[in-house]
A and B are shown apart, each in its own frame.
Chain A
């Protein structure tokens, strides 16, 4: 635990070294999520709502997804840089240190610039919740945090999957982006707007719909997504996140055991 605190502090100090670059890149993040938000607002303006969802409900889904995703990205940017760690051989230094390799890689780099995205996501959540005049109870807040935690673990698992692919090939990891960034893109809208294999993919294979969207729909007091299920059941779904993460972490560790250095 002390190691985690140390690593976090070091990362923040590093970001503070390059102030103007940090500022520019934070603004870039703001524009990026702002652009996504702009697209959603334009669609809502044009079509009124989406399916049976009203505009503030859509905004709520959008905010929840981006909030979880940006927090995950702050925490484990190091996983995204894993391919270059393997290519340059600096992963070897990680392996000789007396701390868990997985923890070190995850904490290797943090990305506080995502604060730009978080601002946009948080604003849309607040605006949505006011627009809906949502009655917040302790249980609802708890459910939101709980599902955010589960989804965060799930996304982290997907980033880790990207790192697993690196053991086999240091190129063409772009394709795994389909699940992480693609997942964010798809799941900023409620899953029942989609049909066929897309819905199956993000419900059964990459269960973002279960971990995040079903709890959110319960918070919004809408039953349609649950397909007749008791609302209490959604408390169980976020547990899928840590399960997926654990599974992929096991594969990753097996990969480490078979790892052969590329360095000199």
Chain B
């Protein structure tokens, strides 16, 4: 019974997001352009061809999954500001979990809509500039599992923003700031794999690297079992930490939420 309610939330949100196909296409062309510009620059900068091919693949995976950094549930944030959130509060469900599921549904659909056309679009580029396939099937499995964990931790960050929103009612400042930090420390602005060695070791273990950077590393190099479990363990550790934080903030703020409007 309960489970069914969450499943419905997932399906409804997935359907809702899949309506925005035209917007997805416009965004995709922009993404492809920005990616191509980065690749063109790295082509000149990186002499080592293996490293260059890896960096190209890194850039494209970042561009394909880029949309997942942002919340897909703008409707809920809108509700908080306008006061309509009171209806959602009445639902006999665990609201935090409910929102995680909606967020995940939105992210998955957003990514699936862009995945195939984006990869096709990349075939317009010269061969060296295209994304390369994963090193092995095992690598692809490792990547996919890790990506799921990555999406879950992005969802936690998105929910932390919503929790702050419940108190401050100011949408733009905090959202912009968190999104930027995710893009910078998450490897979208510059691949974390080409950052100088000593800074890279630091960067690898911070929470924002667990979102897309950790999965991409598995795509590029298939890991041995212990190596993979360690990497996944770090991801799960940060997921748990951020999950606790976002749940804590939610249960505190939902009790004192101030409803707007009449």
- Measured CB to CB, the closest approach of chain B to A23, in angstroms, equals 8
Whole-angstrom CA separation of A78 from B259 in the bound complex: 33
Whole-angstrom CA separation of A260 from B231 in the bound complex: 58
Residues of B within 8 A of A31 (CB): 177, 180-181, 184
- Interface residue B174 (Cβ < 8 Å from any Cβ of A): yes
| Main SS at interface, chain A | helix
Select from chain A the residue with minimum beta-carbon distance to B190: A39
Whole-angstrom CA separation of A32 from B173 in the bound complex: 12
Residues of B within 8 A of A193 (CB): 41, 44-45
- Measured CB to CB, the closest approach of chain A to B24, in angstroms, equals 11
Do A35 and B173 touch (CB < 8 A)? no
Do B44 and A42 touch (CB < 8 A)? no
- Interface residue A47 (Cβ < 8 Å from any Cβ of B): yes
Do B196 and A38 touch (CB < 8 A)? no
Do B189 and A172 touch (CB < 8 A)? no
Instruction: Render A136-180 as a binary contact track against B, CB cut-off 8 A, 1 for contact.
Output: 000000000000000000000000000000000001101101100
A42-B190, A46-B195 in contact; A178/B30 too (CB < 8 A)?
A: yes
Mark the stretch among A127-135, A181-189, A210-218, A233-241 that contacts chain B: A181-189
Select from chain A the residue with minimum beta-carbon distance to B172: A25
List CB contacts (< 8 Å) of B126-164 with chain A.
none
- Interface residue B199 (Cβ < 8 Å from any Cβ of A): yes
- Interface residue A232 (Cβ < 8 Å from any Cβ of B): no
Residues of A within 8 A of B183 (CB): 35
| Main SS at interface, chain B | helix
| Chain A contact patch, size range | 20 to 34
Do B176 and A25 touch (CB < 8 A)? yes
Whole-angstrom CA separation of A189 from B26 in the bound complex: 26
Select from chain B the residue with minimum beta-carbon distance to A31: B180
List CB contacts (< 8 Å) of A184-198 with chain B.
185-186, 189, 193-195, 198
- Measured CB to CB, the closest approach of chain A to B196, in angstroms, equals 5
Do A28 and B177 touch (CB < 8 A)? yes
- Interface residue A27 (Cβ < 8 Å from any Cβ of B): yes
Whole-angstrom CA separation of A93 from B198 in the bound complex: 58
A38-B189, A172-B22, A195-B40 in contact; A43/B45 too (CB < 8 A)?
A: yes
Do A189 and B41 touch (CB < 8 A)? yes
- Measured CB to CB, the closest approach of chain B to A34, in angstroms, equals 8
- Interface residue A51 (Cβ < 8 Å from any Cβ of B): yes
Do B44 and A24 touch (CB < 8 A)? no
Contact of B195 among A42, A194, A195 (CB under 8 A): A42
Do A174 and B189 touch (CB < 8 A)? no
15 A-B pairs (CB sep. < 8 Å): A21-B170, A25-B172, A31-B177, A35-B183, A38-B184, A42-B196, A43-B194, A50-B44, A51-B44, A172-B22, A174-B29, A182-B37, A185-B34, A189-B41, A193-B41
Counting from the closest, the 6 A-B pairs by CB-CB distance are: A24-B173, A39-B190, A35-B184, A28-B176, A174-B26, A172-B26
Contacts A174-B29, A195-B40 supplied; 15 other A-B pairs, CB < 8 Å: A21-B172, A24-B173, A25-B173, A27-B177, A28-B173, A28-B177, A35-B180, A35-B183, A39-B189, A42-B199, A43-B190, A45-B196, A178-B30, A182-B37, A185-B37
Spell out B's residues near A (CB within 8 Å): 22-23, 26-27, 29-30, 33-34, 36-37, 40-41, 43-46, 170, 172-174, 176-177, 180-181, 183-184, 189-190, 194-196, 199
